[in-house]
Chain A
Amino acid sequence: MSQITLYHWVNSLYPASDLSEQISTAGKEASGTGNMKFALNGSLTIGTLDGANVEIREEVGAENFFLFGLTAQEVTDLRAKGYNPLEYYHSNSELKRVIDQLSSGFFSPKEPGLFMPIVSSLLNGDEYMLFADFQSYLDCQARAAEAYRDQDNWTRMSIINVANMGKFSSDRSISDYCKDIWHVQPVPIDLGEYSQSSAGLNVTRSLDNVPSV
């Protein structure tokens, strides 16, 4: 796909979305800005309490955001306690079935071992805790699907999302930087009037000492 078509794809993609996936392991995504681009175009978010998702949810209201998964603190605590993905694998039959399908080559019959690097990274450590969030994510997706059946209410949530995106304008970010860090003021530019009588050059200064821009 060329860069040109990719660009158009992205620009027509945010307006076309219903559900925005912002599902990073809590504590890993610094902010994210794709989450803002989706929400500003009336998409609802399914996400963890990570990065700016936290603030988007605060602004649009918990009832207009599909939340799931461990919090950053819970991720830290679970890791400290000793996280074992196999516990989830053995106790959740739906998860076990999905993983077994991947490792048995169910989706890649011509190359049964194709997905083994993925399976083994999950079973041996699962650094980003997919297994810990799996059930919570499935339940949340089911809630989102149910909510979508009520188109009128979904549209209502979509409008409320857009209506509360004011905070996520980069104008607000930049105003804060200007005020708190840079201590700079706006400088309006006056273009003046165009006049044919002053259209010619009038070099009066020495070229030995021209200020640069």
Chain B
Amino acid sequence: MDSQPINQLIDCPITIEDDRTGTTVQTLKRALADNLYYLQGKDETFATLYDYFMALAYTVRDRLVHRRIKTAQTYFDKDVKMVYYLSAEFLIGRLLINNLINLGLYEQMKQALQESGLNLDDLMEREEEPGLGNGGLGRLAACFLDSLAALEIPAVGYGIRYEFGIFDQLIADGWQTERPDNWLQFGNPWEMPRPDYTVGVKFGGHTEGYTDANGVHQIRWVPQVTVLGTPYDTPIPGYDNNTVNTLRLWAAKAGEDFDLSTFNAGDYTQAVANKTFSENISKVLYPNDNTPQGKELRLQQQYFFVSCSLQDIIRLYLRKHDTFDAFPEKMAIQLNDTHPAIGVAELMRLLLDEYFVPWEKAWDITHRTFAYTNHTLLSEALERWSVSLFGRLLPRHLEIIYEINRQFLEEIRAKYPGDAGKLNRMSLVEEGEDKKIRMAHLACVGSHAVNGVAALHTELVKKDLFRDFYELWPEKFQNKTNGITPRRWLLMSNPELSDLISEKIGKNWVKHLDELKKLEAFVDDPEFRVRWRQIKQSRKASFAGYILRNNGIEIDPNSIFDIQIKRIHEYKRQLLNVLHVIALYNQIKDNPSIDVVPRSVIFGGKAAPGYFMAKW
């Protein structure tokens, strides 16, 4: 060996795997030890469960990084069309198991840990859950990210890196109490900060006109404060492929010049106090589901992450393009509900004021780029912001929305002459003593497609919620029934049933869920039915054990497990379920010898902290 010339060493074939990409048990063991040593700065003498979890997470992350870099390179080289999914919530859940399964590393890692004297289940327990969402809408966004990666679709999810996620629920004396969810306190091994892509987001102030070098009248927004948004990237691997997309979440920070004038005036404490305005923006997730609070901070959050994301998207586009002509052909932006609807006005502002694109062209680009998903028919859940608040916070956007509205209403007036009712109903501005901006209308007018999330819902959107808009633009409306990722919701959460299914019909169902149809061939197979039932029974017994340990209540695993788990909300009618329970109770009390089928009724869910009836 020593006597070999150096060039022969370099040319020799690989004899060992790279420690950061290799997937054999030997390599994983070495990588775990290495990450524990060099990233946690510990060895077996001092390492805690937390250190081992971090070492494990970094070992998995290394395998993601390699794929992430190749994915980013490929998207860049090929200048592919990208999907940008804007959502105020991403309820992605714990990532370790998800990443192990999607990378196909689960079995090897389990063994590598075992051979190292560790247990994967114990380490999985140590992971904090990012609770960056309320309920269905946030989890849908997470399922969509998983599917985008599984289908090898170039995509980025954009949202907010809330410092505090959805509150932890405690039940004390029958009442819900809330505890802050400080999920970042031990650090987050999955995310990578990208401070070099920090952007500024303006708030408040006023606008002023000026004439540019070409003699064209332009508008300039002079803000009261500029907040900085720093992106944190979380890798999103596809199941059984090499794609790793990104979830890019924005954290708000104070700008260096945040309070220069205050500093100069000598008021140091006021200057530091002002810093909290900026940092508060990404502090906490609003714990409301289908019941928005018209709070100023909420609008600040929405504008903050939308502006950061759109500036980022434009930066990415301009890497390969000199003009905005191809923007809608390269960038598809999806608005997940009305929370990011301000994006319509923000893209217009960026194109008009920052890149000097003329109005007609900017409007054409904007509405060909955006699409909007409506998630609720509850009219109280559709956001409306008072014009006074809006104008104070986003003066330039108010001007732009007024101009969009003026042109839009002109179109309506021409199409339906003399129909004042229609103008009132469709306007982006709700008239009245306290005038309001209707964000759902802005999203609808500024998008080329509007979709509901189930067939019935889409019909009601067309018939009731957006009736006038549907009459005007029937081609704009479509249905996209929601879905769930079979990876998390069957493969990972129910391994026993998954194994039985795969044994019968193969494993293709994980990527092609339609294949489950093949199970019907076995429905009359008594042995299959017995095994099916045994698995259900074993899951029920294990859940009964959990309830006994945690709630001190013994339930019969042979009873019907009758379960309602979802946000507590009047329209979901947990109360109807309770009325049934009381009626059953009465039937049994009236006739103790009655032959009832034993039943365990199980409720789970959080109530918005300020929602009086839901907490009762």
Contacts and interface: CB of A to CB of B under 8 A. Distances in A.
Contact of B242 (A145, A170, A180, A189): A189
Contact of B153 (A23, A117, A181, A184): A184
B513 A169 contact: yes
Interface in A157-172: 158-160, 162-172
B140 A33 contact: yes
Contacts of B181: 3
Interface of A: 1-21, 23-25, 27-34, 36-38, 40-43, 49-52, 54-55, 72, 94-95, 97-98, 101-102, 107, 115, 117-118, 121-122, 127-128, 130, 133-134, 137-138, 141, 144-146, 148-149, 151-152, 155-156, 158-160, 162-178, 180-192, 194-197, 199, 211-213
A65 B593 CA distance: 29
Nearest to A166: B514
Given A31-B454, A37-B489, A42-B532, A10 B565 contact: yes
Contacts of A107: 582
Interface of B: 10-11, 14, 17-18, 21, 66-67, 70-72, 74-76, 78, 80-83, 93-94, 125, 127-129, 131, 136, 139-140, 143-144, 146-148, 150-154, 168-171, 181, 183, 196-197, 241-244, 315-316, 319, 332, 334, 371, 374-378, 449, 451-457, 460, 478, 480-486, 489-490, 492-494, 496-497, 501, 511-520, 522-524, 528-529, 532-533, 535-536, 539-540, 542-543, 546, 550, 560-566, 570-573, 575-577, 579-580, 582-584, 586, 596-597, 599, 602, 604, 612-613, 616
Among A28, A94, A188, chain B packs the most CB atoms within 10 A around the CB of A28
Contacts of B371: 181-182
Among A3, A5, A169, chain B packs the most CB atoms within 10 A around the CB of A169
A172 B479 CA distance: 13
A207 B255 CA distance: 25
A3 B575 contact: no
A173 B486 CA distance: 12
Contacts of A5: 550
Given A137-B580, A192-B70, A182 B332 contact: yes
A55 B414 CA distance: 40
B604 A10 contact: yes
13 contacts: A13-B563, A13-B602, A21-B564, A21-B577, A43-B563, A51-B457, A102-B582, A128-B570, A145-B560, A149-B597, A164-B517, A170-B140, A212-B315
A200 to B, nearest CB: 10
Contact of B478 (A181, A186, A199): A181
B143 to A, nearest CB: 4
List 4 A-B pairs, minimum CB-CB distance, nearest first: A166-B514, A21-B564, A170-B483, A169-B513
Contacts of A72: 456, 460
A24 B576 CA distance: 9
A17 B457 contact: no
Contacts of B316: 212-213
B597 A170 contact: no
Contact of B565 (A34, A49, A168): A34
